[in-house]
């Protein structure tokens, strides 16, 4: 059970969510018949060691709901209160999402990242409002509202994905929306600027894209970067958030440029894949493996990752002055904690 009430969600978020939240992608046994507890615990421990304030338990892989809730329970147990476990509300229907968010709350998650199903085809702002409110009313947990191009709203609803007037209605009516993950209209930065200007006094504004975070954080206060594949950078993003809080902007700028070779490689791959309007979790899992996370196999259907992609990502990190693992690429598909 969360240590706050539904009415206290925004106050809790303001006080607790200071720093960066990465992603934990489920690990599976070698025969893919069950989740891999050792691998999951390894990833949670490393996220804590790297200085993350929390981690998203990713659900956008081939995993059953009972397995996913067990996965969250393992994360919560290993976190031992030192890491905010975030439920990934990304299931196929509204009914499944309501069942999942209630299960996640019972499992000990403290925060919810709200997604919208691939088969959800709203033709009005009201439909988005109704769906969002229904999920939020099903839980006492604080919720991250997530304007994002992947939902497909921009072509029918508004170029910003979830327009400010709709966000205004939701904040007025749904007290446990406590964070806005401001990617509306991506790759434009207007989404985060607008969210900060209009709603920054009421809820926490998260800037999840590190290439925007490091520059914009020097101009506007950003207390949270959640949720993203920050594990690719090891402990760098939590450190960058600390430097921003201390207004050590010259060091932040130096870090930004140091990261640039790896950022370009990572961005090129994302640009290729986003044309299909999905996130390649296999790629994200490999990125984490390069920095010491478990890696390991994922079930079909999953995206594939080949040598040119893996070698390019590793070289990008090396060119940026980081030290990714030198282990053979084949070891990624086994994982650091095989079971």
Q: How do the domains of the chain map onto residue ranges?
A: 6-248
Whether the full predicted model's pTM is greater than 0.85, yes or no, is: yes
Residues 308-317 have pLDDT tens digits of 999 999 999 9
**Residue holding tokens 């640039």?**
260
CA dist., res. 35 & res. 228, Å (int) = 22
**Residue holding tokens 């209630």?**
102
Average pLDDT of the residues in 7-11: 98
Q: Is the domain defined by 6-248 classed in CATH 3.40.50.1100?
A: no
Is the pLDDT assigned to residue 28 strictly greater than 60? yes
Residues 133-145 have pLDDT tens digits of 999 999 999 999 9
H-run or E-run covering 89? strand 84-89
Looking at 121-191, which runs of residues are DSSP E strands?
142-145, 177-181
In the chain, the percentage of residues whose pLDDT exceeds 70 is 98
| pLDDT-derived band at 273, boundaries 50, 70, 90 | low
């Amino acid at each position: 059970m969360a240590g706050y009430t539904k009415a206290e969600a925004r106050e809790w978020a303001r006080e607790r969510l200071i720093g960066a939240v990465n992603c934990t992608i489920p690990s599976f046994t070698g025969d893919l018949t069950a989740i891999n507890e050792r691998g999951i615990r390894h990833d949670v421990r490393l996220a804590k060691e790297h200085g993350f304030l929390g981690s998203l338990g990713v659900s956008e892989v081939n995993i059953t709901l009972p397995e996913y809730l067990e996965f969250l329970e393992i994360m919560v147990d290993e976190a031992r209160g030192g890491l905010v476990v975030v439920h990934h509300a990304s299931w196929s229907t509204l009914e499944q999402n309501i069942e999942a968010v209630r299960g996640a709350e019972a499992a000990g998650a403290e925060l919810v990242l709200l997604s919208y199903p691939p088969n959800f085809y709203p033709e009005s702002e009201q439909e988005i409002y109704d769906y969002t409110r229904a999920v939020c009313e099903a839980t006492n947990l604080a919720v991250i509202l997530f304007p994002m191009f992947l939902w497909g709203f921009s072509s029918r609803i508004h170029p910003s994905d979830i327009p400010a007037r709709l966000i205004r209605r939701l904040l007025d009516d749904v007290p446990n929306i406590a964070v806005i993950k401001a990617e509306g209209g991506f790759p434009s930065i207007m989404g985060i600027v607008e969210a900060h200007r209009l709603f920054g006094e009421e809820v926490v504004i998260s800037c999840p894209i590190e290439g925007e975070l490091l520059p914009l954080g020097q101009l506007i206060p950003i207390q949270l970067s959640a949720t993203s594949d920050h594990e690719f950078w090891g402990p760098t993003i939590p450190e960058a958030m600390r430097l921003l809080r201390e207004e050590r902007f010259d060091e932040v700028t130096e870090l930004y440029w140091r990261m640039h070779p790896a950022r370009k490689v990572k961005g090129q791959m994302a640009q290729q894949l986003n044309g299909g309007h999905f996130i390649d979790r296999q790629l994200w899992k490999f990125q984490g493996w390069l920095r010491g996370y478990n890696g390991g196999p994922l079930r079909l259907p999953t995206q594939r990752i080949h040598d040119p992609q893996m070698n390019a990502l590793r070289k990008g990190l090396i060119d940026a002055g980081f030290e990714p693992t030198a282990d053979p690429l084949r070891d990624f598909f086994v994982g650091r904690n095989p079971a």
